[in-house]
Amino acid sequence: MSKKVKDFGIEKTLRNLGIKDENKGTSVGGEYFASGKMIESFSPVDGELISKVETSAESDYDRVIETAQNAFKEFRLIPAPKRGELVRQLGQKLRQYKDDLGKLVSYEMGKSLQEGLGEVQEMIDICDFAVGLSRQLHGFTMHSERPGHRMYEQYHPLGIVGIITAFNFPVAVWSWNTALAWICGNVTIWKPSEKTPLCAIACQNIMIEVLKENNLPEGISSVLVADHEIGQKMVDDKRISLISFTGSTRVGRMVSSKVAERFGKSILELGGNNAIIISKDADLDMSIIGAVFGAVGTAGQRCTSTRRLIIHESVYDEVKNRLVKAYGQLKIGNPLDENNHVGPLIDRDAVEQYTKSIEKCKQEGGNFVVEGAVLEGEEYASGCYVKPCIAEVENSYEIVQYETFAPILYLIKYSTLEEAIATQNDVPQGLSSAIMTQNLREAELFLSHAGSDCGIANVNIGTSGAEIGGAFGGEKETGGGRESGSDVWKYYMRRQTNTINYTAQLPLAQGIKFDL
Ligand code: UN1
């Protein structure tokens, strides 16, 4: 750990969260084991080795599945509000560990400390949400067409829920899935990103405390720190009823077809290519803040990051000039230092993607009004720090159609709102979208059937920072899945329709006669 980062108390944080110098990456609850290869987690903040993790091998995999299957038999019989109590206790622990976990997220993943803490807050919020929900897993009742019959529907747990997550939200996405999966009576197996294994071990350690304090069976919460081959096994495994996958469209396409082939269920949260339309009637002060935070927050590595600004021609130059000015004031550096706005990218591969995308954009004719650069010097020794940049482009450029996970913001000019909406929709992805306007007609058109085709459409806020209470996810190549709030819990259960005859006759439906 570099001397400068040491001052931020990371060593104590690791100790508090139970991270050792060498960790085993498979856990079925209290016990950790592993017999796979060793991986190392380096911090993009200072390039230092944080700790090592022995990954799960194939032989570990079956043990995890079997333990989970056994745990499910017991767990499904615990009443839902009691399972909610378990999630309530997890929420309490997360409050207790918020500072440490937020700091670890920041140090291992590279997002700002504020955003790391915000991510843990999302975990707390989804726990609270799930606790209430544990008493509201309602089905409908309906009137039977036959006399003396009662019809209703109920929801049952699925079994094992497999959760495969990305590096960019290394803790929150686990909690969105687990909090709902658990109140619904499922057990979970988590395969986190290999880029952020320590965040996963920290979460599991917190959950282990809850399981132990409640004397609950191992296998309710399992973790597999493993490579993509184990991920592939999960996807192909009939014993896993639901796969919740967050990641690239390329991998998501494969997950989707493989899970469908075995008639499993999947929730896919894949790439985004999110735009803000800045109208002639926009409040420009708000628009600039929303656009800059959306584009450079988490160094442009959120699925919901703002990648495109579609700006009305009458305010285009003003918006452009103000953005250039705002970008000039951005402080880039150690994300644990709250004076900085932008931290590093996750690793050097991401830096290469950033550089390549800039080159490609230039080749296609992009005009950079804020140039990009890979930063050098002592503070940037990890090699992962880049300068957020802005280019004027056409929406049709190949690079603009593609999601680069980096702070590159594209500017596009429009003259009519219909044209702006068409441009906003004219990308393969459909996660988040926004319009900045004070004009009711424009706002409503944007939200209408003729408006945004995304899973999330906002008015006068940016594209990122969705609250957990809504359903989160998107359309088209974003995969169509929904996570976290609203009635998303239904994805984690199987629906059953029940008809009960309380008469001494057996009338058949549809008026059919069958007398013997
Ligand atoms: C993601 O990037 O995968 O809306 C999730 C947001 C966050 C979640 C992003 N609440 O930006």
Q: Ligand 1 within 6 A of 177 CB?
A: no
Q: Ligand 1 within 6 A of 89 CB?
A: no
Look at strands 367-370 and 389-392 and give their pairing. antiparallel
Rounded distance, CA 493 to CA 41, Å? Answer: 35
Plot region of 159 (φ>0 → left; ψ -120 to 50 → alpha; else → beta): left
**Helix boundaries (H) for 345-439:** 348-363, 417-425
Q: What residues form DSSP beta bridges with 457? A: 433
Check residue 511 and give its pLDDT: 86
What is the best residue among 167, 196, 303, 467 to mutate for testing ligand 1's pocket, by most ligand atoms within 8 Å of CB? 303
Question: Per-residue pLDDT for 322 more than 80?
Answer: yes
- DSSP letter (8 states) at residue 257: H
Check residue 5 and give its pLDDT: 74
Check residue 373 and give its pLDDT: 98
Plot region of 394 (φ>0 → left; ψ -120 to 50 → alpha; else → beta): beta
Check residue 515 and give its pLDDT: 82
Active site (catalytic) residues: 269, 303
- Closest-lying ligand 1 atom to the alpha carbon of residue 456: 4
Q: Ligand 1 within 6 A of 169 CB?
A: yes
Rounded distance, CA 421 to CA 435, Å? Answer: 9
How sure is the predictor about 516, in pLDDT bands with cuts at 50, 70 and 90? confident
Rounded distance, CA 36 to CA 57, Å? Answer: 4
Check residue 514 and give its pLDDT: 87
Contact assessment for residue 179 and residue 80, using Cβ atoms and an 8 Å cutoff? no
φ and ψ of 249, to 5 deg: -65, -35
Chain segment 63-82, per-residue pLDDT in tens: 999 999 999 999 999 999 99
Give the pair of three-digit tokens for residue 322: 């103000």
The residue-averaged pLDDT of 435-450 equals 98
Q: Ligand 1 within 6 A of 302 CB?
A: yes
Mean of per-residue pLDDT scores for the chain: 96
Check residue 2 and give its pLDDT: 66
Contact assessment for residue 160 and residue 66, using Cβ atoms and an 8 Å cutoff? no
Chain segment 267-292, per-residue pLDDT in tens: 999 999 999 999 999 999 999 999 99
CA-nearest of 244, 236, 239 to 260 is: 236
Contact assessment for residue 332 and residue 375, using Cβ atoms and an 8 Å cutoff? yes
DSSP state string for 340-354 = -SB---SSHHHHHHH
Q: What residues form DSSP beta bridges with 501? A: 149
How sure is the predictor about 509, in pLDDT bands with cuts at 50, 70 and 90? confident
Residue 501 CA to ligand 1 center (angstroms) comes to 48
Please give the single-letter amino acid code of residue 1. Answer: M
Q: Which domains does the chain possess?
A: 11-270+479-495 (3.40.605.10), 274-467 (3.40.309.10)
3-state SS track over 167-211: CCCCCHHHHHHHHHHHHCCCEEEEECCCCCHHHHHHHHHHHHHHH
The residue-averaged pLDDT of 27-31 equals 87
Residue 348 CA to ligand 1 center (angstroms) comes to 22
- Closest-lying ligand 1 atom to the alpha carbon of residue 166: 3
Contact assessment for residue 483 and residue 466, using Cβ atoms and an 8 Å cutoff? no
Question: Per-residue pLDDT for 4 more than 70?
Answer: no
Chain segment 331-390, per-residue pLDDT in tens: 999 999 999 999 999 999 999 999 999 999 999 999 999 999 999 999 999 999 999 999
Question: Per-residue pLDDT for 251 more than 70?
Answer: yes
Exposed/middle/buried for 260, CB within 10 Å: 0-12, 13-18, 19+? exposed
How sure is the predictor about 442, in pLDDT bands with cuts at 50, 70 and 90? very high
Q: Ligand 1 within 6 A of 118 CB?
A: no
- Closest-lying ligand 1 atom to the alpha carbon of residue 246: 3
Chain segment 495-506, per-residue pLDDT in tens: 999 999 999 999
Residue 384 CA to ligand 1 center (angstroms) comes to 21
- Closest-lying ligand 1 atom to the alpha carbon of residue 432: 4
Question: Per-residue pLDDT for 451 more than 70?
Answer: yes
DSSP state string for 291-343 = HHHHHHGGGG-STT-EEEEEEETTTHHHHHHHHHHHHHT--BS-TTSTT-SB-
Residue 303 CA to ligand 1 center (angstroms) comes to 6
Chain segment 123-162, per-residue pLDDT in tens: 999 999 999 999 999 999 999 999 999 999 999 999 999 9
